[in-house]
Amino acid sequence: MFQPLEPGSGPRVRVFLDDTPVDLPEGANLAAALLTAGFSPFRTTPVSGAPRLPFCMMGVCFDCLIEIDGIPNRQACLEQVRAGMRLRRQSGAANLEAAE
């Protein structure tokens, strides 16, 4: 588990992880905040359903893909925590109904 080296002092805001409310540090890198919160896996792969977590944290590997506010395939490592974000784990291959 990734643990904070120092107690967090900044404000935390509520986001929804698969409809479950979770408080994360406002403005923090989303992938880093979710990893630290123990969110695992971030997604399962479209090919074999294998679990994945962020690998590069810098926008090149696409393993941190997540659905944000109804939009799938966002790179969590390029996003920041905002109040009210609705986050969904992506399972396997894309589902056309879910994108409607």
Partner 1 sequence: MIDLAIIGAGPAGLAAAIEARALGLRVTLYDEQPGPGGQIYRDITRPRSDRSAAILGPDYLAGRPLAKAFLASGAGYQPRATVWRIAEDGLSFTAPEGGGDQAAARVLVATGAMERPFAVPGWTLPGVMTAGAAQIMLKTTGTAADGAVFVGTGPLLYLVACQYLDAGMTIAAILDTTTKGALLGAASHLPGALRRPGMLMKGLRMLRRLRRSGVPFHRGVTDVAFEGDQALSAVRWTSGGTAHRLECAHAFLHHGVIPNANMTMAARASHHWDKAQAAWVVDRDAEGRSSLPWLFVAGDGGGIAGAKAAALSGRIAARAIARDLDRGAPDSARLLRDYAAEVAIRPFLDRLYRPAPAFLAPQDDRTVICRCEEVTRGDLARAMQEGCPGPNQFKAFCRAGMGPCQGRMCGPTVVSIMSEISGRSPEDIGYYRIRMPVKPVTLAEVAGLPTERVDGRN
- Contact residues for partner 1, defined by CB under 8 A: 1-6, 25, 28-29, 32-33, 35-36, 40-41, 45, 47-48, 50-63, 65, 69-71, 73, 77-78, 80, 84, 86
CB nearer to partner 1: give 17 or 57: 57
Q: Which residues are paired to 7 by β-bridges? A: none
Closest CB 99 distance from partner 1, rounded Å: 10
User: For residue 62, how many other CB atoms are within 10 A of its CB?
Assistant: 14
Closest CB 47 distance from partner 1, rounded Å: 4
User: For residue 83, how many other CB atoms are within 10 A of its CB?
Assistant: 12
Q: How far apart are CA 61 and CA 40, in angstroms?
A: 17
Closest CB 75 distance from partner 1, rounded Å: 9
Q: Longest C-alpha distance within the chain, in Å?
A: 43
